[in-house]
Amino acid sequence: MTVKAMVLRSPGANCDVETAYALECAGAVADRIHINRLRERPQMLHDYHILVVPGGFTYGDDVAAGKILANQLSSFLSDALQSFRDRERLILGICNGFQALLKAGLLVPPDEDGPLATLTHNDSGRFEDRWTYLQATSSRCPMLKGCRHLYLPVAHGEGKFICREPWILHGLQESGQVVLRYTGLALRDEEVGYPANPNGSEGNVAGICDATGRVLGLMPHPERHILPTQHPRWTREELATEGDGMRIFRNIVEYFL
């Protein structure tokens, strides 16, 4: 069986090549498809097993990070994406892709009062480009199967996860949808401050999934830690077999095999 992945291109996305490479290293066939092509023919999704919305600065992050892309997804592709997910396909949003999926309502659907959660400006007030320790806190998402701790880089200016009301975050935690948290060097499940939590996210949230577990959004970049030599201390520490991010992409392929 050939696992096929669509990496969605859009103006300002700049991680599509690296993401396609990571998927190919994991054994998938990856096609980089522009959103205009998908809008013209949404049924293209039927040819694929996984849709990845990569990182970058789509449409210059005008209005808000990922917001214009989110409007395109919700206005023109909502039914196609929900059908894709309901056919037990997988959707992954990385950094700007996470911002777009969340603001499009694909991860946490809005209610009559509007969005329940969003991603906003970092507490530091600046772009954060650093490596972070992560803890996988749920087995709900198949893309994180077997993952307990990950070491991945972040690179964003609007990565702070916040909920409209405290009960919303509690509900996401109780349902197992908070699947990745920032943690400290000790890798304990505890509240951590800056810079371990690089953006000030409530509950140290680094990634969430939807209620099915088949849609995952995360701020860190797994495609930037595929090779062991991408680790910032690879010359000083024992060289790993592969980068931590590779686990996520292998899980994606193995899910369909």
Distance CA(207)–CA(149), nearest Å, equals 13
Token pair listed for 204: 């140290």
For residue 211 the two structure tokens come to: 């209620």
Encode pLDDT of 128-153 as tens digits: 999 999 999 878 999 999 999 999 99
DSSP H or E run through 49: none
| Backbone phi and psi for residue 238, each to the nearest 5 degrees, phi listed first | -60, 130
CA–CA separation, 36 vs 16, rounded Å?
15
H or E stretch at 166: helix 166-174
Q: Is 223 a catalytic residue?
A: yes
Domain 4-256 has CATH 1.10.230.10: no
* Marked catalytic residue, from 49, 221, 225, 231: 221
What does DSSP assign to residue 122?
A: -
**Considering only CA atoms, which of 96, 41, 49, 106 is closest in space to residue 73?**
106
* Known catalytic residue at 141: no
- Can 34 be counted among the known catalytic residues? no
Residue of 95, 141, 147, 209 with catalytic role: 95
Q: How confident is the model at residue 189 (pLDDT cuts 50, 70, 90)?
A: low
Domain boundaries, the chain: 4-256
Distances (CA, A) of 73 to 18, 56, 188, 202: 22, 16, 37, 26
| Interval 66-113: pLDDT, tens | 999 999 999 999 999 999 999 999 999 999 999 999 999 999 999 999
Inter-residue contact 163 to 113 (CB < 8 Å): no
